Amino acid sequence: MANIPDLRRAAAIFWLILLLAGLPVTDAPAPAWAAGPLDSVVGVHATIPGDARTANILGTERQGSGVVIGPEGLVLTIGYLIMEAISAELILPAGKTVPAEVVAYDYETGFGLLRAQSPLGIEPIPFGQSGALSEQSQVLVAGASGVRPVIGAVVVSRREFAGYWEYLLPGAIFTSPPHTEFGGAALIGRDGHLLGIGSLIVGDAAGPARQLPGNMFVPIDALKPILADLVATGRSKVPPRPWLGLLSEEARGRLFITRVSPEGPAAKAGLTENDIVIAVDGQEITGQADFYRKVWALGVAGIEVPLTVLTRNGLSDIKVISASRYDHLKLKPSY
């Protein structure tokens, strides 16, 4: 793991390169970088039991990064690192570890929260305005580990992102070049403020059918309306959306089921791998994002979802009794 001087040196080198290249960085506030926004980046390690719902897909030992965002050691990370965790710890410079409590997990945004169980002595990073972040903006991506823990990057697109796990994120931030240790990494603006949290590495950062490797970040603005609820109760007050328990892939506007969650709603309704979803409640779907919107428009978790599906036996109308993903996962009782 890189120590804090390494992180600051990397940031300084990044801005020096921009200056030598003649790029406009006159408004880059050097004092902000020296004052410690990179100091807020910490390592995150979580242990997940072998019988967890996500153990087979995400593993039982997960490691990435997090960012100190509040007093008393409140740390923001990407939720899949700590989902179903039975224990977690924060990794500080020089390898020091501090036990952490899992505070919250929000499925809709993908954020997760931890709280250190002893003082960190780290100043929280202030939030930026991710909604104002435009394409071609210069940013830093800071992780807690990797060959290059801090890299300079450029925002190459801002667009909706549809994930195969029943996930839809408006205004996702895509940057390039990619950071290899992206999970929970901090996206930091030139004012030293936090703009997003790293989620994925992608091959089409610049847009569909435009091959450019990069990272996808969850914008920090998505956290602001729900942060108080997450800290207080571990959950957003927004009622959970209907969850079907299927993984899918879009091809030419069609939605192919690639996997169904064991014991999930789709599996209980008889849906299987390679089935093709044609319509929701009689309305033909045009792709993955459209599928999610049509399902969620029917109501909250627990609603019946009528699907028209092309199976190996032909076209079928199948009714799926949706559920809350929170109830399916083996989460802490507090959230």
C-beta separation of 134 from 208 below 8 A: no
Q: 210 and 262 share a domain?
A: no
pLDDT tens for residues 1-13?
444 344 444 444 4
Q: 20 and 54 share a domain?
A: yes
pLDDT tens for residues 30-81?
334 434 679 999 999 999 999 999 999 999 999 999 999 998 899 999 999 9
The long-range contacts involving 151-160, CB below 8 angstroms and separated by at least 24 positions, are: 151/10, 151/14, 151/177, 151/179, 152/14, 152/17, 152/18, 153/177, 153/179, 153/214, 153/215, 156/205, 156/206, 156/212, 156/214, 157/205, 157/206, 157/207, 158/133, 158/134, 159/207, 160/289
Q: 17 and 92 share a domain?
A: yes
Q: Cα(71)–Cα(41) distance, rounded to whole angstroms?
A: 14
**Which of the listed residues 233, 261, 290 is the one where a domain comes to its end?**
233
**Which of the listed residues 170, 203, 233 is the one where a domain comes to its end?**
233
Q: Is residue 112 part of a domain?
A: yes
Q: Is residue 239 part of a domain?
A: no
Q: 8 and 117 share a domain?
A: yes
Q: Is residue 259 part of a domain?
A: yes
Q: Is residue 56 part of a domain?
A: yes
Q: Is residue 240 part of a domain?
A: no
Q: 120 and 149 share a domain?
A: no
Q: 14 and 85 share a domain?
A: yes
Answering whether pTM is above 0.85, one says yes
Q: Cα(273)–Cα(255) distance, rounded to whole angstroms?
A: 11
Give the per-residue pLDDT at 203.
96
Q: Is residue 335 part of a domain?
A: no
C-beta separation of 301 from 322 below 8 A: yes
Quick one: which H or E segment has residue 140? strand 138-142
Q: Which of 14, 16, 5, 301 is nearest to 166 (CA)?
A: 301
Q: Is residue 241 part of a domain?
A: no
Q: 252 and 307 share a domain?
A: yes
Q: Cα(228)–Cα(201) distance, rounded to whole angstroms?
A: 29
Which residues have a Cβ under 8 Å from the Cβ of 21 and sit 6 or more positions away? Answer: none
Total residue length of the chain: 335
- Domain of 11, CATH number, reads 2.40.10.10
What range defines the domain where residue 302 resides? 246-328
C-beta separation of 240 from 324 below 8 A: yes
Per-residue confidence band for 119, with pLDDT thresholds at 50, 70 and 90: very high
Q: Is residue 204 part of a domain?
A: yes
C-beta separation of 84 from 329 below 8 A: yes
- Domain of 257, CATH number, reads 2.30.42.10
Q: What is the mean pLDDT of residues 131-138?
A: 96
Give the per-residue pLDDT at 3.
43
pLDDT tens for residues 77-116?
999 999 999 999 999 987 899 999 999 999 999 999 999 9
pLDDT tens for residues 220-252?
999 999 999 999 999 999 999 999 999 999 998
Give the per-residue pLDDT at 334.
55
Q: What is the number of structural domains in the chain?
A: 3
Q: 109 and 24 share a domain?
A: yes
Q: Cα(335)–Cα(277) distance, rounded to whole angstroms?
A: 32
Q: 159 and 218 share a domain?
A: yes
Which residues have a Cβ under 8 Å from the Cβ of 50 and sit 6 or more positions away? Answer: 60
Q: 183 and 254 share a domain?
A: no
Per-residue confidence band for 17, with pLDDT thresholds at 50, 70 and 90: very low
Q: 88 and 137 share a domain?
A: no
Q: Cα(35)–Cα(132) distance, rounded to whole angstroms?
A: 23
pLDDT tens for residues 282-312?
999 999 999 999 999 999 999 999 999 999 9
Q: 109 and 35 share a domain?
A: yes
Q: Which amino acid is at 154?
A: V
Instruction: Say yes or no to pLDDT of 27 above 80.
Output: no
